[in-house]
């Protein structure tokens, strides 16, 4: 891997975060600093700093006599991440629908839906969904709400990728079109309802996949 001329810590952080979120580093797997040094061809210091940042994000945990490893998930974790994310999503939707131009948001959401339809991989579909939700955060006018979402964003992206892979890349376009129509109508309750329905469909699939991985 060739590192770009930017902070080594940022580069390592971005790559490891990408690998964790997209399940290229399995949940619960150990992050061996020596192996990462060999992979990136650098000293241990920027690697350790990047791992510390990932710990702050909740994507990495430290265990005595084990060291750093990728976070694990159980059924309770899935429900807690989902509940927190949906609470923040609902707030972002309500603020954005009060403060922002509905037509402008609808156009942005439509572009995200188009990208979702054209996506070839689960990772690309997940990224499109993330950007669709980002429309509400970008227009909610509340930086603290956006910052709080940042604390759970990586974990929710992991759940979305688990769902995408476990469902065989199921097409959820209809759910996102409901969101689009609700935004056009200025119906924040309709947006939230569509999000909740989509989340309720995904949770059993995610939990089943996690339990299967434990066997």
Chain-centre distance for alpha carbon 174: 20
pLDDT > 80? residue 190? yes
Q: How confident is the model at residue 215 (pLDDT cuts 50, 70, 90)?
A: low
pLDDT of residue 210: 93
pLDDT of residue 6: 67
Q: Interior CA angle at 17 toward 30 and 199, to 5°?
A: 100
Q: What's the sign of the alpha-carbon dihedral 210, 208, 165, 150?
A: negative
Of all residues in the chain, the percent with pLDDT exceeding 70 is 97
Per-residue pLDDT tens for 56-76?
999 999 988 778 999 999 999
Average pLDDT over the chain, rounded to an integer: 92
- CA gap 157, 130 in Å, rounded: 8
Q: What is the mean pLDDT of residues 107-135?
A: 95
- CA gap 82, 200 in Å, rounded: 9
Q: How confident is the model at residue 189 (pLDDT cuts 50, 70, 90)?
A: very high
pLDDT > 60? residue 3? no
pTM confidence score: 0.90
Residue bearing tokens 């994000």: 57
Q: Do the beta carbons of residue 161 and residue 123 sit within 8 Å? A: yes
Q: From 45, 49, 41, 50, select the one nearest 13 (Cα to Cα).
A: 50
- In 45-80, which positions are buried (b, 16+ CB within 10 angstroms) versus exposed (e)? ebbebbbebbeebebbeeeeeeebbbbebeeebbee
pLDDT > 60? residue 2? no
Listed in sequence order, the residues at least 6 apart from 151 whose beta carbon sits closer than 8 Å to its beta carbon are 57, 58
């Amino acid at each position: 891997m060739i590192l770009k001329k930017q902070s080594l810590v940022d580069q390592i952080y971005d790559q490891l975060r990408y690998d964790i979120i997209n399940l290229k580093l399995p949940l619960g797997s150990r992050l061996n600093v020596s192996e990462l040094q060999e992979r990136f061809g650098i000293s241990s210091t920027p690697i350790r700093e990047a791992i510390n940042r990932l710990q702050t994000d909740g994507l990495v945990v430290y265990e005595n006599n084990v060291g750093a490893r990728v976070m694990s998930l159980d059924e309770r974790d899935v429900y807690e991440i989902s509940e927190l994310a949906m609470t923040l999503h609902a707030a972002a939707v309500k603020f954005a629908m009060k403060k922002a131009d509905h037509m402008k948001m609808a156009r942005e959401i439509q572009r995200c839906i188009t990208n979702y339809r054209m996506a070839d991989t689960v990772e690309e579909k997940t990224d499109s969904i993330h950007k669709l939700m980002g429309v509400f955060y970008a227009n909610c006018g509340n930086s603290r709400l956006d910052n709080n979402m940042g604390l759970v964003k990586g974990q929710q992206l992991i759940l979305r990728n688990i769902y995408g892979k476990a469902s065989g890349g199921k097409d959820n376009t209809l759910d996102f079109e409901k969101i689009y129509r609700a935004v056009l109508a200025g119906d924040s309750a309709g947006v939230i309802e569509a999000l909740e329905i989509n989340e309720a469909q995904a949770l059993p699939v995610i939990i089943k996949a996690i339990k299967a991985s434990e066997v």
